Structure 1
């Protein structure tokens, strides 16, 4: 069985949702027969590579939040991440374009290192002090840490057309499947799960997809936590 996950490195719910899905997958009886493929989805596809700004500034400018609301939202997201055992810096993070990261992830997939690189990118973005945006050498370092060749990674980053078609194809496919935000999980092209749902929802989806082939439908509430063009859903505590 194949599970495809559309996500973006800048999406905090993708970071949390991946952990929740993996919790369900670890307990799934047929987990050794499940192939997981990560697909590209940019939350801000038109953003220039050098357009990097603090997350709190982005939230206040793009979504009209007050600084207090932005800080409260980040605090709540930090709590959600901590509940899944994930580190999360609620202050001092940057936001920027993720297109080059997605291109590198396609390069990594060809070498069997996609999952490792994705985890490193998430951790670097959400937990580490040094920004992952606008710094090719930072991305090369992470690629090498994932087991990829440094020169190969630099070559990808130096050529804006490298794997660009793969990223755009993923994004077109997400639109065709009805994904309006991420994370978006598709199981065997038969079942869809939208948002960072609880692990129990992923458990049910894995079981249902394993047992029967059905037309794609969404599991869980339509209000599942996700990031989309209008921002990221944040639970109010």
Structure 2
């Protein structure tokens, strides 16, 4: 069975949702028969890669929030991340274009290092004091993931390298009706939207396993405060509150 996950490195609920999915997968009896494929999704497509600003500044400007409100929202997300065993810095992170990151992720996947690159990018963006939107940091993260530095720099120097792969993933997301991430598609039969609790993922995997002959995608899982997502206007739903970032 194949699980495809559409996500963006700038999305905190993709970071949290990945950890929750992995816990749900670990509890699934047929977990060793599941192929996980990561797909590209940009929350801010078309953003200039030179446009790198602090997350707090971007959120305050875009949504008219005060610095105190922005920090409170970030602390709420941080608490959810930490409850999953993830490090999360509520302050001091950058915001920027993720297109080059997705291109490098596709290259990493072609080299059998996609999971290592994705984990490294998430860690740099959310847990460490490194701006993964800066090219030198991105190269360093790629090397740490086991990729060849020269080849990574070649990818970044060529604006069309793996660009079609990124755009193909994004078109497919649109065709599937996914306008927010994370979005999980199980064996092209079931869709799960948001950073759901681990047990929801386990249940969805069990349902998909039992119904592998169904022709269409059915959305499963909860909604409301459990279905935490980031959508294409850059907002990220906050559990237990009406606020957005």
Into which bin does the TM-score normalised by the smaller protein fall? over 0.9
Measure, in 2, the Cα distance between the counterparts of 1:86 and 1:156.
30
Would you say the 8 A contact 1:76–1:236 is kept in 2? no
Counterpart CA distance in 1 for 2:84 and 2:169 is 28
- Shift in Å, 1:67: 1.9
Q: Secondary structure at the match of 1:152?
A: helix
Question: Once the 2 structures are TM-superposed, how far is the Cα of residue 236 of structure 1 from its aligned partner?
Answer: 4.2
CA contact 1:103–1:162 (8 Å) conserved in 2: yes
Moved over 6 A (4+): none
Say which SS state the counterpart of residue 180 (structure 2) adopts: coil
SS at match of 1:140: helix
RMSD of Structure 2 on Structure 1 (CA) = 1.1
Shift of 1:124: 0.2
Per the alignment, residue 151 of structure 1 pairs with 150
| 1:228 alignment counterpart | 231
- Which deviations, in whole Å up to 9, do the C-alpha atoms of 1:54-105 show, x marking residues without a partner? 1111111112222222111000000000000000000111000000000001
After TM superposition, give the deviation of residue 139 of structure 1 in Å: 1.2
Q: Where does structure 2 lack aligned partners over 5 or more consecutive residues?
A: none
The secondary structure found in structure 2 opposite 1:192 is strand
- Name whichever of 20-29 and 215-224 sits farther off: 215-224
SS at match of 2:238: coil
Residues 53, 94 of structure 2: 8 Å contact kept: yes
Q: Using the alignment, how far apart are the partners of 1:14 and 1:119 within structure 2?
A: 11
The equivalences for 1:170-209 within 5 A come to: 170-209=169-208
Q: Secondary structure at the match of 1:232?
A: coil
Q: Give the match's secondary structure for 1:4.
A: strand
Q: Distance in 2 between matches of 1:44 and 1:84?
A: 26
Unaligned runs of at least 5 residues, structure 1 = none
For the 8 Å contact 1:55–1:93, the answer to whether it is kept is yes
CA shift, 1:26, in A, is 1.1
Q: Give 3-state SS (helix, strand or coil) of 1:9's partner.
A: coil
Alignment pair present for 1:9 and 2:6: no
Whether the 8 Å contact between 2:88 and 2:127 is mirrored in structure 1 is yes
- How far apart, in 1, do the equivalents of 2:175 and 2:183 lie? 13
Q: TM-score, normalised by structure 1?
A: 0.97
Q: Structure 2 matches for 1:118-157, cutoff 5 A?
A: 118-133=118-133, 135-157=134-156
